[in-house]
Structure 1
């Protein structure tokens, strides 16, 4: 019996870009549901605060001064959320494919979790210089949500990609 270890060294392998975009879109939806559920169950105060924070990236600081539900704010937040989800899904696939990190489900889930946690650090500690209002969302729930985003995106990509 011969033991084969799968190497994860770089090879010239292109990602399946369409699968990556769909995976990022789907994982963005999963993260959005988790954020809304967390806000509804655990957070006191305005349940639309996170939505306004995301929309403020494109609509400006004034959106943060409003309260309650606004269809325009929700549409802007959805657009930003899904565009970023697709972009990050494509970035993740660009890492997974050439290093063959999709060789097994545990490997792709681990890769996705690490990617999600790195994304959390970059978003909530790096980008907070440009979008200071995100500092108040730092914490374990947001970090776990980003790890789940990465895992979901990686798993969906693995299932959808054309070998």
Structure 2
């Protein structure tokens, strides 16, 4: 009997793209709920984040209004979920070839690190192009992104159908 330990070295292994997309969509929903709860618990305008996200496509005009606007919310949802799905696919493209889906703990750790790196990219790297997101920097947003990464990783782990060797 031979003992096989999970190796986390790179191997040419494709992720399950459908599972990755669904994982990103689901994790995006979890992050959105966290953002709404955080805004409501701190007395901040719960629609502010929607205006900031929509402004990525609509420009500064989306930031000139406040409160609920159906158009703003629709654009924010589209952008939020498309980015969530794209980031879910990126995470799976890292997890699968390195076998970071070998256990729930490893997947959660990989997702947490991915979420933290995503936070740094979004709120420090991309803030040059979207200056208005700088005001969202902080622990609540960082924790939300870590939860996003962990959620995407665990959802992916539960849904993936690994490629069968031929």
TM-score tier, shorter chain, comes to over 0.9
CA deviation string 1:36-87 (max 9, x = no partner): 0100111x34221111000100111111110111000000000000000000
Kindly tell me: are residues 94 and 147 of structure 1, through their superposed partners in 2, closer, same or farther at Cα, counting changes over 3 Å? same
Name the structure 2 match of 1:10.
Answer: 10
Change (3 A) 1:98 1:45: closer
User: Which runs of 5 or more residues in structure 2 are unaligned?
Assistant: none
What residue number does 2:144 align with? 145
The more displaced of 44-53 and 104-113 is 44-53
Equivalent residue for 1:96?
95
Instruction: Report the TM-score, using the length of structure 1 for normalisation.
Output: 0.96
**TM-score, normalised to structure 2's length?**
0.94
Q: Distance in 2 between matches of 1:68 and 1:152?
A: 29
Distance, in Å, in 1 between the alignment partners of 2:36 and 2:147 is 14
Task: Quote the residue 2:121 is aligned against.
Answer: 122
Report what 1:30 is aligned to: 30
Note the residue ranges of structure 1 that are not aligned, 5 or more in a row.
none
The alpha carbon displacement at 1:5 in A equals 3.0
RMSD: 1.2
